[in-house]
Amino acid sequence: MEAVLERILSRTDEQTTSPSPPAGCSPPPPGSRSPAELAPAAAATYAMGASSAALAAVITVLVLLVAGASGARLPARGGAVRAPLPRGGAPATAVFALGSFWRSEAAFGCLPGVIRTSVGYAGGSKANPEYRNLADHAECVKVEYDPRLIHYKQLLDVFWARHDPREVFGQGPDVGNQYRSIIFTNGTIEARLAALTKEREQAKDRSSVITTQIQPLGVFYPAEPEHQKFELKCKPFLLQLMGNLPEEELIASTLAAKLNAYAAELCPAKTQKRISSKIDEVAKKGWPILREI
């Protein structure tokens, strides 16, 4: 199994990048906007097209081997043309802690195959933590995704690229135990992939230690509504274009997840431009509701 996991990791070659500072909360004008260019490491993270098919094949073989050994039954998988997750199907879930969850949530929203994102607390022992009373929990991001369109390995690549895993007791200006780096895993395969990617990051520089913890996911406690889609809420113009959705719909919305990433300028450059054009087009028509991008 270790050999197969190593082959998965060898499919892509990413760099670690330091996290960007939080974006301001002033609404943009309704005119055209020039999207900021992504950092090279972040752009490389999204450039998965050439290796996606090979990566999918390797992971499929791995899952077949594990399921065959345990006698588990595998769900049916799509063919070459990948359809959206069927109605009633359960998405896969990944949870990461990588500093303040306000900006961290936006790091995953524009990835193809991500269905929705939300923020919350995990990793501690206190029941029902709150933002002002976290105890030993960490701020974290829950990513719900279609595993036929994006793989857990790709989410790990974004995790490593979007924060500094060598920092101790915080991230950048955010200092405290709640901002520590953690990969929360669901099962053995995720745990081993997380461990192998951690070793890959450590091998890039042995002069300092990767502080990221890897631990099974216990209870994920959703954060208060005001912390969900924080970057998007800093752009009231975008919320208005969406029709000012109720909070529960905003959290569950795939469109909101993408616009949250767009508001933070964390989508790929071409996607940022495409979304800007779509927003300008919709706004010029007299403020109709933005349904898709």
Interval 105-133: pLDDT, tens: 999 999 999 999 999 999 999 999 999 99
Domain boundaries, the chain: 2-15+37-228
* 208-230 mean pLDDT: 96
Instruction: Enter the pTM of the model.
Output: 0.71
CB 101 within 8 A of CB 112: no
CATH class label, 2-15+37-228: alpha beta
Provide φ and ψ at 131, rounded to 5°: -55, -40
Q: Which amino acid is at 272?
A: Q
- Predicted confidence (pLDDT) at residue 15 exceeds the cutoff of 70: no
* 257-277 mean pLDDT: 95
- Predicted confidence (pLDDT) at residue 83 exceeds the cutoff of 50: no
Q: Please write the tens of the pLDDT for every residue from 187-201.
A: 999 999 999 999 999
Determine the length of the chain.
293
Cα separation values, 249 from 228, 243, 253, 282, Å: 11, 11, 6, 21
